[in-house]
Amino acid sequence: MDEARIKQAENNFKNYLDEGKIKKINFDKQIYTTYLRNSIESLSVAEKLFKDNTSSLWVVVTSYYSMFYITCAYLYKLGYKAGSEIVHQVVNESLIVQGRHKIKNYLLENYSEEKMKALIIVDNHLDNFEREKAKRASFQYETTEMIKETKAKTSLERAKEFVRLMREILLE
């Protein structure tokens, strides 16, 4: 993830706060737990759909939503909640701003990675979230029946890795 993208996310996050698209909140355990439960359920559904070869489209969609909900839980734990307007973009930008350093530090502490490798891993996770967000929108609204099973499998694997990492961070 290049510096220009990070700066863009920082500017967007500030604007979203100013515009009320994301707000500072008081923590409510029930909302937090719901985000976690939705993430786990979405990932479970994605795995079942993939295993049963039911629908590549819905593997992509539910894989993305597992990532989306765990990110919402993370942001919520930090005291932020996105509104209903352009929520996926708000959550994506907020994750870059609020999560990049936390994820990097977590990887450094828990995996003894050297700094550049940890940054690359962090940026890969953040890029994967953005890719899955774009893929979900494209597959859900624009793609025909030519959706490939391999793309669905990639989505599922990215979601599993992302959700695992974010759950570890949330349990710290």
For residue range 136-149, list pLDDT tens digits in order. 777 666 555 556 67
What is the longest distance spanned by two Cα atoms in the chain? 45
Average pLDDT for the chain: 89
Q: What tokens appear for 94 in the block?
A: 């907020």
3-170 CATH choice from 1.10.1660.10, 2.115.10.20, 2.160.10.10, 1.20.120.330: 1.20.120.330
142 close to 45: Cβ distance less than 8 angstroms: no
Q: How many residues does the chain have?
A: 172
pTM exceeds 0.85 for this model? no
Query: Does residue 110 have a pLDDT over 80?
Result: no
For the chain, give the percent of residues with pLDDT over 70. 91
Residue type, 149: E
**Beta strands 22-24; 80-82: pairing state:** antiparallel
Q: HSE of 117 in the Cβ direction (CA atoms, 13 Å)?
A: 7
